Structure 1
Amino acid sequence: MNICLVNHDFIPVRGSGQTVYAEKIARGLADGNNVTVITARPPGLSGIEYIDNIRVVRLPVPHHDPSQWIAFGYIAGQFIKRQAGRKNFDIIHFLDGHLGYAAPKGFVATLHQSFNQRLKGKKGIPYHSSLWNLIQRYPYYKVSKILETLALGKAEACLAISHATRNEFIQNYRVDPKRIDVVYSGIDTDFFKPVDAGRQRKALGLTNEKVLLYVGFSTPRKGLEDLAAALRRLKTDNVKLVLAGKWEKGYRQSFLHRLGRNVDKVIEAGYVDDAQMPALYSLADIFVLPSLLEGFGFPLVESMACGTPVISTNAGAIPEVVGNCGLVIPPQNPGILAEKIDLLLSDESLRNSLKKRSRDWVLYNFSQAVMMRQTFSFYERVMAQKKRTARHFAL
């Protein structure tokens, strides 16, 4: 099969978990298929290159701000139009659906968080670090939702990364339910597994502390202020919070403000190389994600695969991802979060039970092999439908 994947970021650039999804899809499909990835071209990288057996076409994009995807979507759409007569792709797949607003009709799209969700937020309040930040971004979100709706109208079929995401697009964008399949994102369960973490603990300066872990690109939607407030309420002594990942501009200051005098309880690990991630998850007693909105949540699945119990919220797709393998609480409730952290740190039997269930749950539901098999089956159904439609019009 000749497959074209379109995503704003690709190896070696990684802006979010959505980019991790793109990497996994591309590598999985490249085994037995011809795969071309169309992506943005950052400084210093060539326009066309091969990564393993994946052909990567990098298009120059002039902007460097949150709306950069809009410019990329337009340039990618025009590029695909020019290629249509020369390159016969069986499937053109926009790995973030809204990118397809300028492309010809007939592509497939993956659905993650909607701009409707980002615009409204919890109880109608958008997720932003300040009123000024909201004022700046509100027009951008409004325009983005319009383009997202345009892209959905052009898509032949869609993949949602969770049932919660599917329901969002059915209810708020009126997408025909028959056009949306659910395929959970998958991880490499041979890589993400419990490992010895002694060297990692030493590198972080940890000795006998209880360890809470958060991994991800930190934005107001991740609810880290609530985690900071929960740290102040903990009854358990000798606890450290390890933070791994990058910060949205200005958000770190909000977190530190809520942290107050407890700054000595936090270790900022910053960017952690992929090879070290299983050890990072394995050293933690609890993985905490106090998010206000999640379309899926790769770190949740990765931590569970490593046997690390999780505490998260009932926002978005989190309950269906965690199942009965972790503790799920209401978002924006530091008091309850602190109680659940104290409970899990003090109850070794509960932690061990969650550890065992967690890995089994991931193996059954979120392996990379399952994701690729279901994605390829989705492609085959789309192609079969195209052939039936073509025969119908031929008659």
Structure 2
Amino acid sequence: MSENQEKPLRICMISYRSNPHSGGQGVYIRNLAKALCDLGHEVDVLAGPPDPLLEGGARLIPVPTLDLYNPEALFRTPRIEELKDPVNLMEWLSISTMGYPEPFTFGFRAVRFLKNRLHDYDIIHDNQSLSYGIQQISQKIPTVATIHHPMTVDRKLAIRSVRAPWKKFKHLRWYSFIGMQKRVSRKLPRIITVSEFSKKDIAREYAISPSRFSVVPNGISTELFFPMPEIQREPGRLIVTNSADMPLKGLYHLLQALEKVSRTHSVRLTVIGKPKEKGGIEKLIRKLNIGHIIDFTGRIDHWQFVREYARASIAVVPSLYEGFGLPVGEAMATATPVISTTGGALPEVAGDAALLVPPGNADALAEAICELLDDPARRERLGAAGYARVHEHFTWKNAAEKTVETYREVIRDHR
């Protein structure tokens, strides 16, 4: 029986924290849920805050949590009534001791909600919580999980980025959930990941056979990211979509490159978002004395985001590692020429439609920026090539179809 003839599936996606505007996991859950609905399937998304802003018929089932990472009330003190719930108490105690408990505790919240509802679904799809609760659910109903990239990479880079032993310990404590994720992922029948590079790294880091993976590349939302030819690109303007202090994202290296480029070129950098107050990014900007050529946008709406791409002459993706590389794909969808590192799976997304440099190399990044600034014809060619590549290879419809193939395989094997 062909896919068109098989009955639509009833799918429950589980996502513990899914910001729809930042972070690959939030973008993933919002767009894949919509694409699955577009194929005719029924999709519920069991999600903690923030609201993933689902579209296209996917139904949100909000799961109350302490929401201690809400920037409007960061690490608030819970009320006594809230702490009477054992799951809330575990979450609060872990955070109070520098842990990151949300993947762990959300699994228990999912078990609690689904206890008498598992018969409503054909398959459960976990979005990288990989919690003991998901393992428990998988014993009763077909279950798959997406792992975007191995969190062991984040942990290694975070520990390497600091010198003080207490700071290294702090990172070790924060990433202590990784042990749980390794154990649970080995018990699940099928793992979806977003690139061949991620597959190899996860298989090695988590000790999972490569045969248990399905590689399903992410899509790029071309109805949300597109060229705006009516806006003129500003000479010398660069854009980067990452303002985080996380070493993994490589902004430190871009700032060092920017200082080098500014010695010979008139250049300005737009950073989408804002840095952590008194954090490493702010300190480095002061040290390099480049604050006058950097614009932090703060929080902006999506359409302003696309307009910022339209103004830029070059988009830079300086990440040390990406399991897929949505920033590369989104920039290419706007026909903005891209400079990207070769960190992780970024070359799989960029192909020959971007200028590639080694990760963590400010000199190479500076040289590539100067090279493109001096060559408008090449910028034009790269922008056109990137736009064509996204539309040919990275659609959410393709991602949804391949995901459904994995669902049906797991359902058949579970019977």
TM over 0.5: yes
Aligned counterparts, 1:22-101, within 5 A: 22-31=29-38, 32-41=40-49, 53-62=57-66, 64=68, 66-84=100-118, 87-99=119-131
C-alpha displacement of 1:136: 1.4
- Structure 1 Cα separation of the partners of residues 371 and 59 of structure 2: 50
> Are the counterparts in 1 of residues 193 and 216 from structure 2 also a CA contact under 8 Å?
yes
> Are the counterparts in 2 of residues 9 and 15 from structure 1 also a CA contact under 8 Å?
no
C-alpha displacement of 1:209: 4.0
- Provide, for residues 359-380 of structure 1, a one-character-per-residue CA deviation record: whole Å limited to 9, x for no partner: 1111121122221222222222
C-alpha displacement of 1:228: 1.1
Residue of structure 1 in register with 2:25 after alignment: 18
Unaligned runs of 5+ in 1: 202-207, 391-395
C-alpha displacement of 1:68: 2.6
Change beyond 3 A, Cα 1:107–1:54: same
- Provide, for residues 213-252 of structure 1, a one-character-per-residue CA deviation record: whole Å limited to 9, x for no partner: 0013522211111111111111542211000025456343
C-alpha displacement of 1:97: 4.9
- Structure 1 Cα separation of the partners of residues 165 and 317 of structure 2: 24
- Provide, for residues 172-223 of structure 1, a one-character-per-residue CA deviation record: whole Å limited to 9, x for no partner: 2221222101111101224322113639x8xxxxxx5411100135222111
C-alpha displacement of 1:276: 2.8
**Range with greater deviation from structure 2 (66-75 or 248-257):** 248-257
Aligned counterparts, 1:220-369, within 5 A: 220-234=247-261, 235-248=263-276, 250-258=279-287, 260-369=288-397
Residue of structure 2 in register with 1:204 after alignment: none
- Structure 2 Cα separation of the partners of residues 137 and 10 of structure 1: 22
- Structure 1 Cα separation of the partners of residues 155 and 108 of structure 2: 22
> What SS class does the counterpart of residue 92 from structure 1 fall into?
strand
C-alpha displacement of 1:127: 4.9
> Are the counterparts in 2 of residues 185 and 296 from structure 1 also a CA contact under 8 Å?
yes
Percent of matched pairs sharing the same residue:
29
- Provide, for residues 41-66 of structure 1, a one-character-per-residue CA deviation record: whole Å limited to 9, x for no partner: 46xx8xxx996632222222236254
Residue of structure 1 in register with 2:216 after alignment: 183
> Are the counterparts in 2 of residues 197 and 280 from structure 1 also a CA contact under 8 Å?
no
- Structure 1 Cα separation of the partners of residues 54 and 400 of structure 2: 21
C-alpha displacement of 1:114: 1.4
Unaligned runs of 5+ in 2: 1-8, 70-99
The one-letter code of the counterpart of 1:92 is: I
Q: Does 1:8 align with 2:12?
A: no
The one-letter code of the counterpart of 2:125 is: H
> What SS class does the counterpart of residue 104 from structure 1 fall into?
helix
C-alpha displacement of 1:115: 2.2
- Structure 2 Cα separation of the partners of residues 128 and 163 of structure 1: 30
- Structure 1 Cα separation of the partners of residues 413 and 144 of structure 2: 13
Change beyond 3 A, Cα 1:329–1:159: same
TM-score computed with the length of structure 2 as normaliser? 0.81
The one-letter code of the counterpart of 1:35 is: V
> Are the counterparts in 1 of residues 219 and 396 from structure 2 also a CA contact under 8 Å?
yes
- Structure 2 Cα separation of the partners of residues 321 and 177 of structure 1: 21
Q: What number of residue pairs does the alignment pair up?
A: 368
- Provide, for residues 130-150 of structure 1, a one-character-per-residue CA deviation record: whole Å limited to 9, x for no partner: 765433121231x21211112
- Structure 2 Cα separation of the partners of residues 236 and 287 of structure 1: 19
Residue of structure 2 in register with 1:205 after alignment: none
C-alpha displacement of 1:340: 0.7
> Are the counterparts in 2 of residues 115 and 144 from structure 1 also a CA contact under 8 Å?
no
What root-mean-square deviation, in Å, do the aligned CA atoms of Structure 1 and Structure 2 show? 2.6
- Structure 2 Cα separation of the partners of residues 80 and 62 of structure 1: 19
Pick from 214, 234, 237 the counterpart of residue 211 of structure 1. 237
> What SS class does the counterpart of residue 61 from structure 2 fall into?
strand
- Structure 1 Cα separation of the partners of residues 302 and 54 of structure 2: 21
- Provide, for residues 64-119 of structure 1, a one-character-per-residue CA deviation record: whole Å limited to 9, x for no partner: 254333222332234334433xx331110012252465442241011112122122
Change beyond 3 A, Cα 1:115–1:127: farther
> Are the counterparts in 1 of residues 16 and 129 from structure 2 also a CA contact under 8 Å?
no
Pick from 190, 197, 200 the counterpart of residue 157 of structure 1. 190
TM-score computed with the length of structure 1 as normaliser? 0.85
- Structure 2 Cα separation of the partners of residues 9 and 237 of structure 1: 41
> What SS class does the counterpart of residue 218 from structure 2 fall into?
coil
